[in-house]
Structure 1
C-alpha cells in the first residue's frame, strides 16, 4: 500500500504539471505535449522541460518517503501510549505494506526512547525539507505563465541560490545522503544559470565619452513617503539630463515642481490622487502623449532631442500583480509595451517600475517582442525593492533600451525614503 501511495505522489506531481501546461497551450494531441514541454523548459527548450519533469518526479519520490513513513511512525507512536507494543507489532505484520516500512514501524514501537528523536535526525529532516522546498520554488517560476503564484516564485533566484549553498554544504558533509547533495547542486546550478549572465559579458562601452552621454535618473518615490528634500537632493547631486518619477501623488507633484528650476521641460500624468508619473528634462520634449497599454495604469511617452537625434522615451508603471485581475492587467501591459516598442523607429528607452523581474516569462516575452535589452546586462542584477526587507531584494525597476543605444553604466542610488532604490544610468547613442 505504501508503495502505491509513493508511486501516485511520484508520478502525480509531474503529470499534473504537464496537464496544466498542456491546457495552457490551447492545443490538442501530440502538439500540446511538445508545446507544454517547451513551456516548462522556458528559455532552455523542450529537453530541459522534460528534464524538469523527471527531476520533479525524483524529488516527489523522496518527499513521499518522508511523508508516508513519518505519518505512519507518528501514528503508531501515539497508539503505543495507550496500547501494548506487542499487539501493535502483530498488527503491523498484517499490514499490506513493504517489509522496509514494517521494520521501521516495529523499531519505533519496541524502542521506548524512540520518541526522543536525536538532534542529528531532526536537523537532517529539516535540511531535507529545505532542499525539497528550494527545488520546487526554483522550478515553479518557469511555469509562471500558467499561474499567479508560480510567476511570483520566479522573482527570487538570488534568494534560492543563497539558500541552496548551506544546504549543499550540509549534504556534502553528510556523505551518506548523496541524493540530496545532487538535489541541492541542481538548485544551485539552475539559479546560477539565471544570475551569472547578468554579470557577463562586459558592457559594450567600457569608458565614458565626455559630453556625449545621456544620464537618466528613475525613482519610484512612494506615495506615502515624506522625504521630499532627499529626492530633490539626489537629483541635484546626480545631475541627470532627464529625471523620471512614478507613484507621484498630488502632494509629490507639488513638491517635485521645484525641479522646473533645473529642468525647463516636463510632462506629467496624474491618474489619481495617489498615483501619477512625471518626466523632467533638460532636453526638449516633443510629441508628449499618454499611452494606454491596458485598462489600468497609463504610461507617459515623449520624444527627446539629443545631439540632433530623436530618442523616444516611455515611462511605465504596470499594476502590482497581487490579485488575479491585476496579474492579468499587468501582463497585458507588458505585452502591449513589447508590441509598441517593436513599432517605434527611433532609438527607444523604456523605463519604470515594471513590477516584475527579468526572470518572469512575461518580462522575457516583452523584451523579445520589443527587441529590447536590459541596461543591467554586464552590470549585475542590481536589486531595487523592497528597501524595508533587504533579504528579499529583487530587481523590479528597469531601463530597457533598443539596439542603437549603448550603456556606459547603470547603478542604484541611495535610499531616499521610498521602498524602491533609485536607478541611474548613463547611455550613449
Structure 2
C-alpha cells in the first residue's frame, strides 16, 4: 500500500512543476513589441522633457533630437497597429506629430526660399566652418575653399598652425580679422573685399572672441558677425552660452544696418534658448524652408543635429543654403548665398 501511494503521487507533482517553470519563462521573455513599446515610451518622455530646457540645463539636451524622435515614433506605428496595440499607437502617433510640428519651420516651403536676385543686385557667398582645432587635414579645407569660392570665410577653432597654412590665400582673401588660439575658440574672418571696420569682441562673461565686420555694398552697409559660444556641457558652461546668445541678440537688435550672424552656436533650432535668440534679436533662420541641414557630429548620422547657424536680419535675403563635404572636422561646413534686399 505505501509503495502504491508513492507511485500515484509522483505523476501528480510533475505537471505542477512544469507549469511553474513555463510561467517563469513566459514572464522573463523579451519581445520585439515590448522592446519597441518601452523605447517609444522613453522617447515620448524625452519629447516632453525637452520643453523644460529653461528649468534645468540637462533637460535642454533632450530638445536637440526632435527629428530622431519623430522618425523613430513614426516607424513604430505600423508594428503597433499590426500587433493591435492601438492605445500605444495613438500615444506614439500624437508624440510623432508633436515633434514634427517643431520641425515644421525647416521642412515647410517658404516664399523666402525661392527668392531670386535682380540683374543689378550683387550676390555674395559665405562659408562657415568649424574646422576643429585638432584637425590637421588641411588639403580638405583647401579644396572646399577652392570649390565654393566664397566671398567671405568664417572659420572657428582656428589655431596658429592653420593660419600659417592659409597664407597661400593671401592673394584671394587679402582682408582679414583673426584671433587664433590653441584651444577650441580661435576665430577668423577672411574677405575678398575691404572691410570698413572690424572688431574682435567678447559677448557675455566667458571672454571668448567673436568678430564683427562692416562691409560696403554699394552705398549700403552689411554687418557680418562670427561667433562660437561654449558648448553646454555643464551648468556653468550652459549659463555662459546663454549669456553670450543674449548679448548677441542685443547687438543684432541695435544694429543700424542689415546683419548676418554666423557661428557654431552650440544650440539646436528646437532649444528654447534658440527661440529666445530669434525673438530677442529679430533675426531669422536661413534654414527655414530648406530642410533640417544637420551639421554635427560627422560620422554619427543617427545623432546628427544642426548647431552651425546662419541668422539674418531684415535687409538680407537668402538665396541658397547647404551643408558642404567633410573637412576632416567633426562639423560639416555651411555655405550661404545671399544679397541685400532692395531699399
Same fold (TM over 0.5): yes
| Structure 1 stretch displaced more, 142-151 or 272-281 | 272-281
From the superposition, tell whether residues 274 and 206 of structure 1 become closer, same or farther in structure 2 (CA, over 3 Å). Answer: closer
Secondary structure of the corresponding residue to residue 23 of structure 2: helix
Higher helix residue share: 1
Q: Contact conserved, 2:159 with 2:181, CA < 8 A, in 1?
A: no
Partner residue in 1 for 2:97: 189
In terms of fraction of residues, the more strand-rich structure is 2
Please point out which of 140, 149, 153 is paired with 1:239. Answer: 149
Q: 1:283 aligns with which of 193, 218, 242?
A: 193
Question: SS at the partner of 2:237?
Answer: helix
Q: Which of 133, 148, 155 pairs up with 1:223?
A: 133
Once the two structures are overlaid, the 10-residue window that deviates more, 288-297 or 260-269, is 288-297
TM-score using structure 2 length:
0.89
CA distance in structure 2 between the partners assigned to 1:265 and 1:167 by the alignment: 53
- Secondary structure of the residue aligned to 2:270 is coil
Partner of 2:86: 178
Conserved? CA contact 2:122–2:339, under 8 Å: yes
Match of 2:107 in 1: 199
Q: 2:124 aligns with which of 202, 214, 233?
A: 214
Displacement, 1:246?
0.4
SS in 2 for 1:214: strand
Q: 1:137-152 to 2 correspondence within 5 Å?
A: 137-152=46-61
Q: CA deviation at 1:303?
A: 0.5
Secondary structure (helix, strand or coil) at the match of 1:358 reads coil
**DSSP 3-state at the match of 2:298:** coil
2:254 paired with 1:343 = yes
- Judge conservation of contact 2:159–2:182 (CA < 8 Å) in 1: yes
SS of 1:291's equivalent? Answer: strand
Give the alignment's Cα RMSD to 1 decimal.
2.1
Aligned to 1:409: 320
Is 1:303 the counterpart of 2:214 in the alignment?
yes
The total of aligned residue pairs comes to 322
CA 1:121–1:233: 2 relative to 1, 3 Å:
closer
Q: Is the 8 A contact 1:203 1:407 kept in 2?
A: no
* Conserved 8 A contact 2:109-2:290: no
Note the residue ranges of structure 1 that are not aligned, 5 or more in a row: 1-106
Q: Which is bigger in relative contact order (C-alpha 8 A, separation at least 6)?
A: 2
